[in-house]
Amino acid sequence: MRRRLVAGNWKMNGSMASAAMVDEIAALSRDCDVLICPPFTLIAGLSGRGIPLGGQDCHTEAQGAHTGDISAEMLRDAGAVAVIVGHSERRTDHGETDALVAAKALAAWRAGLLAIVCIGETEAERDAGRTLEVIGTQLAGSVPDGATPARLVVAYEPVWAIGTGRTPTSDQIVEVHGFIRRTLAERFGKDAAEGIRLLYGGSVKPGNAAEIFALADVDGALVGGASLAAADFAPIIAAAG
Ligand code: PGA
């Protein structure tokens, strides 16, 4: 019942030359949703090529005196249908708190965008046995009231797995995704929780995608490095269906 989603997070990479890669991805036959989140500067230029686009962040307000920031409404205006909020690199580089992430998710909804809310433990938190506690706190604080399958996706991205080539074991992913699903059910009801897609993110590659997609409560992936070239991204999409 949940259609898989493979979302590419280009981070601070890419240029208009990447349009060729987007065209290659758009030409693939697939049975899953695909989304590419390029830098802000590329959204308008890459829109209309057959692949839905998302932003990597947004401000909480619609407009105003916030030099260097981009609003959810601006993303929508440029052609985006989604936005990533609370990525661990935003939390670390820009000190984003759960409360700010929740406000950004609300801004996304205000603008009619799908919010992809990212959560994940650090290696020290996992080593201390605190993973589920941390995930529970982030989920409670970063996801606003009113979540529905149409406007929320949750991405579980262990900080220690991002860009490192390391991934959790299958059991670890299943444990966290199951916990997220149960926690969402307690708060938003079983029907909503059963429809909300949960992505795994962190060193997803062509070689491990099929195994990860087969896990319970994994509804797709948020892919960083391997979303930058069609040769890597296409087999991940193929593994999703
Ligand atoms: P990675 O990044 O696939 O390069 O590990 C994932 C992410 O940060 O979204």
pLDDT at 189: 97
Tell whether ligand 1 has an atom less than 6 A from the beta carbon of residue 162. yes
Kindly give the parts of the chain with pLDDT less than 70. Answer: none
Packing angle, helices 131-142 and 98-110, rounded to 10 = 40
Atom of ligand 1 at shortest distance to CA of 84? 9
Residue 211: active-site member? no
pLDDT at 75: 98
pLDDT at 1: 79
pLDDT, averaged across the chain: 98
238 close to 231: Cβ distance less than 8 angstroms: no
26 close to 49: Cβ distance less than 8 angstroms: yes
pLDDT at 98: 98
Range of the domain at 51: 5-240
Q: How far apart are CA 14 and CA 227, in angstroms?
A: 11
pLDDT digit string (tens) for 184-220?
999 999 999 999 999 999 999 999 999 999 999 999 9
CATH of the domain at 77: 3.20.20.70
Tell whether ligand 1 has an atom less than 6 A from the beta carbon of residue 58. no
Residue 61: active-site member? no
Structure letter (DSSP) for residue 71: B
pLDDT at 61: 98
73 close to 45: Cβ distance less than 8 angstroms: no
In total, how many domains does the chain have?
A: 1
